[in-house]
Amino acid sequence: MNKSISPLKKRICKCGCEIEFQPRRKDQIYFDTIHANHGYNHGKRKERDPNSSTVIKHIRKNDSILRFFYEQKVGGEAKPRLSSLKDAGFNSAISVGNMEKDGRRYYFMYNYKYCFLSTENKEYVKIEKVK
Ligand SMILES: [Zn+2]
């Protein structure tokens, strides 16, 4: 925890997803705008934007597909083909956000994240748990 180079402490997203994130600003209470909309719509009990609830459905589906492949991991690491994920209905255009870490770009769902194993050849992905 003390290894963080940012002066801001990590915090838990206020939308209810329990993602821990590194805030970029002092007043950032949501992981990103999708989470902000989700939290806002729930908090204010407004009618939900149909587009954003579709996005959330895709994220939940992506998340359960990532979990499925994560649980099939061999030798401690889950490295399936992207095409296998897509065959299961994975939508790689949708994530709750992405973040650069150790030279790789990770794409986040609620509980799982993934990155491409190679930037040139986006055939295989590596799946990790968010927390
Ligand atoms: Zn959230």
Domain boundaries, the chain: 11-129
Give 31 Cα–ligand 1 centroid separation in angstroms.
6
What is the phi/psi pair of residue 66, to 5°? -60, -40
Give 69 Cα–ligand 1 centroid separation in angstroms.
23
Residue 16 to residue 39: CA distance in whole angstroms: 7
Q: Which residues surround ligand 1, an ion (CB under 5 A)?
A: 13, 15, 17, 31, 35
- pLDDT digits 0-9 by tens, 67-114: 999 999 888 899 999 999 999 999 998 999 999 988 899 999 999 999
Regarding predicted confidence, which is higher, 121 or 113?
113
Task: Enter the pTM of the model.
Answer: 0.60
Give 18 Cα–ligand 1 centroid separation in angstroms.
6
